[in-house]
């Protein structure tokens, strides 16, 4: 599996979400919320006999500013929704254009958003407080 290609393709999926001002395929040292970045996780190379399939986990971490109590939470609620134009899950799991598959432009065989953490508080490198959540994505390949 090409980790760089997967990161770039996942970030591209997130760029369609309104109000996400900064999207990066790489971890951001100082995200400017609303922002998202991709964190590679474990790889399982032996999911089928004779190395017929592998999988890799990614964490999509999204941050919203805490400038307003209610407004920040309302934006994060929209991103945590299962459907809708702000839904992180819907954006990632959307089938590729012209195909009936979610293969990130051929970078993988399929993918699933498996879980989300729900609300979390983060502290940026500059000490600023941010609200956010993590989405766990499993990508399948050969």
* Domain ranges within the chain, ordered by starting residue: 3-141
Arithmetic mean of pLDDT, 54-67: 93
List pLDDT tens digits, range 78-100. Answer: 999 999 999 999 999 999 887 77
Q: Are 137 and 111 in contact (CB under 8 A)?
A: yes
- Give the pLDDT band (50/70/90) at residue 31: very high
| pLDDT above 90 coverage of the chain, percent | 67
Backbone angles phi, psi at 122, to 5 degrees: -125, 150
SS3 for 48? coil
In this predicted model, what pLDDT tens digit does every residue of 105-121 receive, in sequence order?
888 889 999 999 999 99
Q: Are strands 35-44 and 110-116 parallel, antiparallel or unpaired?
A: unpaired
Mean predicted lDDT score pLDDT of the chain: 91
Q: Which residue is listed with tokens 């100082």?
A: 30
* Dist. CA 20–CA 63, nearest whole Å: 9
The DSSP symbol for 81 reads S
Please give the residue that has the higher pLDDT: either 24 or 108. 24
The CATH code that applies to domain 3-141 is: 3.30.70.1700
Cβ atoms within 10 Å, residue 29: 9
- This prediction's pTM: 0.91
Residue 1: the pLDDT is 83
Specify burial of residue 7 (Cβ count, 10 A radius: 0-12, 13-18, 19+).
buried
């Amino acid at each position: 599996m090409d980790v760089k290609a997967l990161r770039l393709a996942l970030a591209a999926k997130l760029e369609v979400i309104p109000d996400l001002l900064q999207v990066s395929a790489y971890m951001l040292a100082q995200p400017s919320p609303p922002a998202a970045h991709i964190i590679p996780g474990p790889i399982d190379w032996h999911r089928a006999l004779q190395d017929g399939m592998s999988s890799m986990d990614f964490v999509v971490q999204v941050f919203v500013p805490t400038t307003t109590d209610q407004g920040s939470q309302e934006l994060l609620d929209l991103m945590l929704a299962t459907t809708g134009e702000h839904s992180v899950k819907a954006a990632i799991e959307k089938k590729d254009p012209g195909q009936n598959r979610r293969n990130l432009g051929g970078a993988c065989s399929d993918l699933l958003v498996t879980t989300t953490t729900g609300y979390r508080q983060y502290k940026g490198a500059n000490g600023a407080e941010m609200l956010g959540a993590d989405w766990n994505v499993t990508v399948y390949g050969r």
